[in-house]
Amino acid sequence: MTDARNYGLSDAAAVAALVEGRHGDPFSLLGPHTVDGRRVVRTLQPGALGVELIDTSGRPVAELRRVHDGGLFAGFAPDASAYRLRVRWSAASHDTHDPYAFGTLLADDDLARMADGTHVELFRVLGAHPITLDGVHGVRFAVWAPNAQRVSVVGDFDSWDGRRHPMRKRVPSGVWELFVPGLLAGARYKYEIWGADGSLTQRADPVALAAELPPATGSIVADPTAFHWTDAEWLRKRGALHHAGSPLSIYELHAGSWLRGKNNEELHWDDIGERLIPYVAGMGFTHIELLPISEHPFGGSWGYQPLGQFAPTSRFGTPEAFARFVDRCHEAGVGVIVDWVPAHFPTDIHGLAHFDGTPLYEHADPREGFHQDWNTLIFNLGRNEVSGFLVASALAWLERFHVDGLRVDAVASMLYRDYSRKHGEWVPNKYGGRENLESIDFLRRVNQLVAERHPDCMTIAEESTAWPGVTQRVEQGGLGFTFKWNMGWMHDSLDFMTHDPIHRRWHHGEMTFSMVYAYSEKFVLPLSHDEVVHGKRSLLGRMPGDEWQKFANLRAYYGFMWGHPGKKLLFTGGEIAQPREWNHDAQIAWELLDHPLHLGVQKLVRDLNKLYASTPALHAWDSDPRGFRWVIGDDAEQSVFAWLRMADGGRTVLVVSNMTPTPRHGFRLGVPEGGRWREALNSDAAEYGGSGMGNEGERHAQAVHAHGFEQSLVLSLPPLSTVMFVAD
């Protein structure tokens, strides 16, 4: 072994730290350096038998000497020309460019914008990117870990040995970077981090664009080839489909359980799309909403505990396959909404928790940083880099994958510091209040950037409180969401429907109260996955009565929902009246469609969607109080509800729900117009599995005063039904 001091390595402690994987500045020792006017090259190759320098043609020009038994080699280069390394191992040798011969990689402007949280295309800077540098092909790695003592990129290419590829730290940004020559897309990798607390962990890339198939936890260098999109026509027109007056009907689903393979395996995007897209389009839904598809370690979280904020889960294929799925949806005229989770993340050791040996992404104080309900960590949105990380994630889904909207999960938990906490378990804001000012700023910024960069896209809030201005524009003091889930309507109406009809008179207000606040926000009426799990029973299972009554109740409820102001959302399985709760490990019980009652519900949902989309009165003034008027809202004794839906230039619609099993003949209702009223939909129709009672397809108004109108209709109200009439 040659004396290391001959090659400018006089600091024995530094050499020892390098070979032991503890040195925080590998570029100060490795690569080309000038020593006493001569060019010396040093390389760390643990386990190698020898190393020599070769020129660009492969001709040996110098033998490097072993200067430490840990695999440190050094030698003098004959000139300043380009060189490569030829490393000899016991069974083979390989030629490679020296990673430590390259200069800094990331632009100062990129690092500055990342530090102040304004870099909206962060995935183009951090993470792993195949590039060509000085004519050399390889992969550029970059990761934010400001408090780490050392960071290395590890993978199959270096036997997962953190000594082989330690990275350069860019001060003051705290970003570590390294170019690894010869590496290609598809390579597996992680970052090995020697934390500020002395911990040594291997972490998945927070900004990875692709990931290994769970339960493996590594990241994958994504294919840089740009996807060839064919959805220009959809993108051109989609803005007209996403405003408050549009007929928005959303089919919510879990990609892993909508349909499964012969052996109950999860299908890939191409297979899912082959069956799902024509089904959704044929059912008249305008959009699908995917439960979170960001990479997540535990399938049982349904994606709500994500770690890969930029990577679609590999469970269903590559990022390219997901892009192809979205493209096919758009070709069929179906929009795509993805569930996005910026509120919290799991504690898995390969993830973001204590990332650099400090609470980096999360709050240090568990009263702010730990979510007791979900056993997860809460993002520290007051930190520029963390806020910017999530903002960039939101925009990446819209820009990389052309998705049409983001449903933002658990907004209520973000808005309140005392969310699900007792007195003394939370930290007030700087004014002593419970509002989470940092989260409010973050949500406003996300929504404002989406509105500026993609005004034709939607953001939808899952927000369960009375927070004001959720869908009000940011410049007007609101949070800036396009729509908000109406959780109040969902809970109240489901509670009403659960009661036996004989008791519904005592709960009448649960069906009418929503109209008190219907125009305070722009609402989506959700019957979501959360309502068919954890012992809540399926929607059909909640309905009272015998088999026929259960189905009739459900059909009447759907009619009530589609007639009520607000956009529509139905979780998969609801459209076929699945009797069991949703199980994420099994597909929807499609065999039920052999049963006429289940098939009837499916036909009803299809026809409701078609009527809703083709009838402006049912959607155009969803957010305008001029679009609604009660005809009967107080008939608790008979559990009858009747109202009008209207729109500028559209035909008026009369919606009537009879929520008892008692048929009501000769039922007079006032209407604003004379002439013929067509029975456009009857949930009790025989084709839906009902009794077939109705109004012979139409009724003509009589000049008899009723309910404040000069004209009225005499109707037959079927048992447990909703009937819609359209004025001619």
DSSP string, 481-517: -SEEE-HHHHHHHHHHHHS-GGGGGGGTHHHHGGGGS
Q: Can you read off the two tokens belonging to residue 714? A: 């005499």
Instruction: State the catalytic residue, choosing from 462, 531, 607, 679.
Output: 462
Task: Determine if the peptide bond prior to 214 is cis (ω within 30°).
Answer: no
> 178 pairs with which residues across the strands?
141
Please, are residues 180 and 157 in contact by the beta-carbon 8 Å criterion?
yes
**Distances in Å between the alpha carbon of 436 and those of 379, 426, 442, 684?**
12, 11, 10, 48
β-strand pairing of 628-635 with 640-645: antiparallel
Please, are residues 626 and 646 in contact by the beta-carbon 8 Å criterion?
yes
Could you give the CA distance from residue 208 to residue 141 in angstroms, rounded to a whole number? Answer: 10
The question of whether 624 is a catalytic residue gets the answer: no
Please, are residues 577 and 554 in contact by the beta-carbon 8 Å criterion?
yes
Could you give the CA distance from residue 210 to residue 623 in angstroms, rounded to a whole number? Answer: 40
Please, are residues 412 and 360 in contact by the beta-carbon 8 Å criterion?
no
Query: In 10 A of CB 384, how many CB atoms?
Result: 15
- What is the arrangement of strands in the sheet containing 168-170, beginning at the earlier edge strand? 127-133, 136-144, 175-181, 168-170
**Distances in Å between the alpha carbon of 15 and those of 3, 66, 153, 659, 721?**
12, 13, 20, 81, 82
Could you give the CA distance from residue 597 to residue 686 in angstroms, rounded to a whole number? Answer: 10
- Residue with token string 């949500």: 443
Could you give the CA distance from residue 546 to residue 300 in angstroms, rounded to a whole number? Answer: 33
Handedness of CA 613, 616, 618, 620 (dihedral sign): positive
- What is the arrangement of strands in the sheet containing 60-68, beginning at the earlier edge strand? 31-35, 38-44, 72-76, 60-68, 50-54, 84-88, 93-96
Could you give the CA distance from residue 550 to residue 431 in angstroms, rounded to a whole number? Answer: 52
Environment class of 50 (CB within 10 Å of its CB; exposed 0-12, middle 13-18, buried 19+): middle
Q: Can you read off the two tokens belonging to residue 301? A: 């979280």
Tell me, what amino acid is at 554? Answer: L
What DSSP designation does 416 have?
B
Environment class of 282 (CB within 10 Å of its CB; exposed 0-12, middle 13-18, buried 19+): exposed
- Residue with token string 């570590």: 176
**Distances in Å between the alpha carbon of 544 and those of 179, 497, 592, 690, 722?**
65, 8, 20, 16, 17
Please, are residues 63 and 52 in contact by the beta-carbon 8 Å criterion?
yes
CB-hemisphere CA count at 13 Å for 482?
27
Coil/strand/helix, residue 229: coil
Could you give the maximum distance between any two Cα atoms of the chain, in Å? 111
> 143 pairs with which residues across the strands?
176
Helix 319-331 vs helix 269-282: crossing angle, to nearest 10: 20
Instruction: State the catalytic residue, choosing from 409, 575, 622, 684.
Output: 409
The question of whether 409 is a catalytic residue gets the answer: yes
- Residue with token string 């390098």: 18
Query: In 10 A of CB 427, how many CB atoms?
Result: 14
Which of the residues are catalytic?
409, 462
